[in-house]
């Protein structure tokens, strides 16, 4: 059973996003970013109470900007998805979850060492240039299901 209900168009959205956000970090890095996307669709807490679909997650606006820099700036997100990224996107939608992205709702590239918290949320781990953050204990049980 898939981790979240999805359509073929959602595979394309995630594939384009993981390439745009983490292509330089290889397949593993793209899978972690994909985990964050799926986790946000599952989470019924914090900034993600009103996002239930992959499309909602990708195009979510917070503070007047898109949540993902790749949507805001364009770059590779607006290029066609390739077969490899489509395969990886399907993996995270269907079953794939590993630390540090397993329960993470946020990631970013600080261009420096990862801070121990990100807007009050605890550090879950790092993969190459990206730091991953999970919801603080007791704030988002839905993401751990």
pLDDT in tens, the chain (145 residues): 999 999 999 999 999 999 999 999 999 999 999 999 999 999 999 999 999 999 999 999 998 999 998 998 877 888 999 999 999 999 999 999 999 999 999 999 999 999 999 999 999 999 999 999 999 999 999 998 7
Alpha-carbon distance 127 to 12, whole Å? Answer: 24
Task: Tell me the pairing of strands 61-62 and 117-118.
Answer: unpaired
Q: What residue segments make up the domains of the chain, in order of their start? A: 8-103
Q: Would you say 94 and 7 are in contact if contact means Cβ atoms under 8 Å apart? A: no
Beta bridge partners of 118: 121
Domain 8-103 has CATH 3.30.70.3270: no
Q: Is the pTM of this model over 0.85?
A: yes
* H or E element at residue 90: helix 83-94
Alpha-carbon distance 69 to 48, whole Å? Answer: 17
Q: What is the pLDDT of residue 76?
A: 80
């Amino acid at each position: 059973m898939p981790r979240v209900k999805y359509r073929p168009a959602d595979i394309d959205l995630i594939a384009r996003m993981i390439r745009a956000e983490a292509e330089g970090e290889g397949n593993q890095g793209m899978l972690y970013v994909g985990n964050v996307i799926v986790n946000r669709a599952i989470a019924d807490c914090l900034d993600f109470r009103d996002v239930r679909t992959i499309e909602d997650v990708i195009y979510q606006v917070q503070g007047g900007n898109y949540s993902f820099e790749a949507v805001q700036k364009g770059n590779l997100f607006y290029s066609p998805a390739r077969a490899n990224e489509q395969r990886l996107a399907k993996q995270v939608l269907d079953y794939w979850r590993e630390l540090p992205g397993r329960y993470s709702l946020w990631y970013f590239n600080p261009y420096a060492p990862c801070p121990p918290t990100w807007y009050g949320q605890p550090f879950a781990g790092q993969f190459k240039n990206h730091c991953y953050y999970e919801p603080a204990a007791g704030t988002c049980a839905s993401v751990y299901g």
